[in-house]
Amino acid sequence: MGGMRLQWNCNSSATRKAYGTHNPLMHDLMITDTSSIAERVNSLRSLSLFEGLTNEELHFLATEAQLRFYAAGMTIFHQGEPGSTCHIIVRGKVRVFVIGEDGRELSVSIFGPGEIVGEMALFENLPRSANVETLEPTWTLELHQDVLLHGLAHSTTLACSLLRALSSRLRHMTEEAEGLASLTVADRLLLRLQRLAEWSGRPVADGVRIALPMTQQELAALIGTSRESVNRALSGLRKQGKIRLDNGWIVLLNK
């Protein structure tokens, strides 16, 4: 940063007007009092995306961001709609998926705390490229395009951090696609279940229960196949003693 003091002033009233109206089912948890802003600064500081930012930079983002809450199963973005905001996940998990011309879903990935969604539309000034839906109760910090671009223009630390995050995401998706290409549906499903268990598993007596509530259709979208194929693969994995079902939850069994 070279020790220079940055000009982080931004027209807050104009920025807030740009957010427009919100889904009536979504609770607007915007915080304006000093103590809550301080707590929000601490929350931002704990996220890897904002490591290295100064207190001034964090305070700017915390003041201009709007805290949002979405219940499980709610859509944050719709594919094809105009985009003027992005969301930084503070707590919870979302899935990003696209709808093909044939009407089938294909999940891009699942994102959790510290990750950003919706930024592509802001950089390209194009419609949303995918849908974003919550898998569980989720809190996010919503940033308007003007705020994000202002922050990137005035903080090389923030710009480099975002580039690293996006580069890491692209590398992970590429490696995952290459790894899954040669596997059978059952093997792809088992690998995906193992990764979900590592990320959101809950230990039980005989293994690990995957805590994310996902339908067979959502699992199919994650591995690029049909719901019927996932159903057959799950049956096969159960017969092999690799998983069991517990009131709708999938449990990965200990070897």
Judged by average pLDDT, the poorest of 33-37, 92-96, 126-130, 196-200 is 33-37
- State yes or no: pLDDT of 13 exceeds 60: no
Select from 64, 57, 59 the least CA-distant residue to 39: 59
pLDDT in the model for residue 3: 31
pLDDT in the model for residue 179: 64
CB neighbours of residue 100 within 10 Å? 8
CB neighbours of residue 92 within 10 Å? 19
- State yes or no: pLDDT of 17 exceeds 80: no
Output the six-digit token pair for 205: 């007596």
Cα-based angle 100, 91, 140 (whole degrees, multiple of 5)? 65
Mean pLDDT value across residues 135-144: 91
Give 105's contacts (C-beta < 8 A, 6+ positions apart): 97, 98, 99, 217, 218, 220, 221
The share of the chain scoring above pLDDT 90, in percent, equals 24
Task: Band the pLDDT of 181: cuts 50, 70, 90.
Answer: low
Residue-wise pLDDT tens digits, 35-60: 477 877 887 888 878 888 888 888 88
pTM attached to this predicted model: 0.66
- State yes or no: pLDDT of 20 exceeds 50: no
- Token pair 């930079």 is found at 57
- State yes or no: pLDDT of 74 exceeds 60: yes
What domains does the chain contain, in order, with CATH numbers? 12-178 (2.60.120.10), 183-253 (1.10.10.10)
Q: What is the DSSP pairing of strand 138-144 with strand 207-210?
A: unpaired
pLDDT in the model for residue 178: 66
- State yes or no: pLDDT of 19 exceeds 70: no
Residue-wise pLDDT tens digits, 121-136: 888 888 898 899 998 9
- State yes or no: pLDDT of 77 exceeds 70: yes
pLDDT in the model for residue 87: 93
